[in-house]
Amino acid sequence: MEVGDTKNRHRTGTILSVISGKLRRKHSGQVTLSRRLGLGSTVSLLIGIMIGTGIFVAPRGVLSYTGSFGASLLVWFLCGLIAMIGALIFTELALMFPKSGGDHTYLQETYGDVLAFLHGWGAVLVVRPMTLAIVSIVLGEYIIYPYFDDMCYRDERMVKLHAATFIIFMMLVHGSGLKLISKLQVVFTSIKVVTLLLIIINGMINIAMGYTDYLDVNTSFEGTNKNAFAFGMAFYQGMFAYEGWNSLTYTMEEMKDPAKTLPRAIMIALPTITVLYVLVNISYYTVLSPQQVLMDEAIATTFSSFTLYGKGILQGSLPFLVCCAAFGSANGLCYTYSRMAVALGREGHMPQIVGMVNPDTMSPNFALFLMGLISIITLLLPISLEHLIEFFSFAIWLSYFFISIAVLILRYTKPDLNRPFKVHWSLPVFMAILSVFLIIAPFFESHGGNEIIVATVIIVAGLIVYVPFIYYKYQLPFMDKITIFVQLLLGIVNTEYKPPEDFPINEDDHHYSDSHNHE
């Protein structure tokens, strides 16, 4: 039996080698991710990922938990500050381990395979596809908004049908290759910034004309919620709009001169986004009352209907502009998801085919198919948009806690590792404490327990998979046939890690060794 298994594995390895050899006909030697992201492209990618649908849906959630405009505006500013601190913490780790794995790599280096696998399991199969589903639902809301004068009569099935179509379209776009994606990201990032600037300009004009009733400092904090844990849920909503601040860590294998490019991109992008978000929220409240914000499904479109300057142009084009923002956000999300999938497949924490890419387009086609399928399944679940956001936030802050602590652990256990960028120790301590607060906040809210139950089930399911397939390395007898079929169907091969040129590599980092490049 063992001899037969050995022969089958040898035969499979030979077949995979032949397939890889044919698919690499245009490449010499290894298939690696090429370094094509400079400072401009990196800033555009980060802004494009972060500025998405969140700013058009989260204001309602933030206000509902804070209770007043003044408190909600404070939350929006603090969320930007938290995102900046988190991005700087991730920068230290990313430059220590400049690979595309992002969170997964840092958890693996610090805590070992079990926690890293559980994070990757949840991120690839639940959290990231769920985020794409959220973005697509918002896009569906704004697509159908112009056709319904009263949103009470809108058809939820129509919203999700548009969302599913959008998800399929995104998978096809990303299968076309990185050059097209990079160009589209720059275009849609520009459109998103212009959209926010249009809202801000109209808001400033409203202020100049005296529309400041809801902005009065003396009354703007009236009704503020006194429950600290309610503010924790408000941060869930606000941080969702800032989500993506750690996305550049997934592009480390494609970034030019990452030691310089990554910190500079963060210092440019994060303050810019924070200022835009705060000004957009101020603009909303020049003409919209808190009650209107709480009742509205498409706040930006409602705002445009109250503007006095360029009302027709803004009201007619804003749904389209918001859809462009959703496209740009989903574009960046698919990009970073695919980089995570490559790392997980390469490290053996997912089946090989998850991490394989097409050598011509450098697109992980199977991973994209998997993401699209799970996102569409998520659309079928009877869960509200707010609950999806809260589940996503609970899961993501669990990982942020462990990663913040990882910075301190690595400084103690591996003090000699090369650190091109280093943050003050107080920042990861602050981030860890904040993470604990946000993790326990749902326990004190009426429906917070549901997210915790679901997250627990997902973690347990991950352990059930980890023990036989990762720890004991059991391989299903038909898996080789599936791998070969998918390789031939999608034209995908394994990738190998290539460190940045002239970049000091830590000698004791076992994940840079050839043994982790699965052939």
Q: What angle do CA 133, 389, 157 make, to 5 degrees?
A: 45
CA dist., res. 21 & res. 2, Å (int): 28
Q: What is the dotted CATH code of the domain comprising 35-494?
A: 1.20.1740.10
pTM of the predicted protein model? 0.78
**Res 173: pLDDT:** 80
CA dist., res. 66 & res. 76, Å (int): 11
Task: With CA atoms as reference, report the closest residue to 53 among 358, 385, 369.
Answer: 385
Domain extents in the chain: 35-494
| Share above pLDDT 90 across residues of the chain, in percent, rounded to a whole number | 17
- Where helices occur in 441-516 by DSSP H, the ranges are 448-466, 479-490
DSSP string, 227-257: -HHHHHHHHHHHHHHHTTTTGGGGGGGGBSS
- Strand (E) or helix (H) holding 35: none
8 A C-beta contact, residue 279 and residue 200: yes
**Res 349: pLDDT:** 83
Tokens 């809260």 belong to which residue? 390
**Res 18: pLDDT:** 46
The per-residue pLDDT for range 272-301, each reduced to its tens digit, is: 999 999 999 999 888 888 888 887 766 777
8 A C-beta contact, residue 401 and residue 435: yes
Segments of the chain with pLDDT less than 70: 1-37, 100, 145-154, 177-185, 297-298, 307-317, 384-386, 445-452, 455, 496-519
CA dist., res. 519 & res. 15, Å (int): 11
3-class secondary-structure state, position 357: strand
**Res 500: pLDDT:** 57
8 A C-beta contact, residue 344 and residue 124: yes
**Res 30: pLDDT:** 53
**Res 359: pLDDT:** 80
**Res 350: pLDDT:** 84
8 A C-beta contact, residue 356 and residue 368: no
CA dist., res. 140 & res. 138, Å (int): 5
Side chain identity, residue 195: T
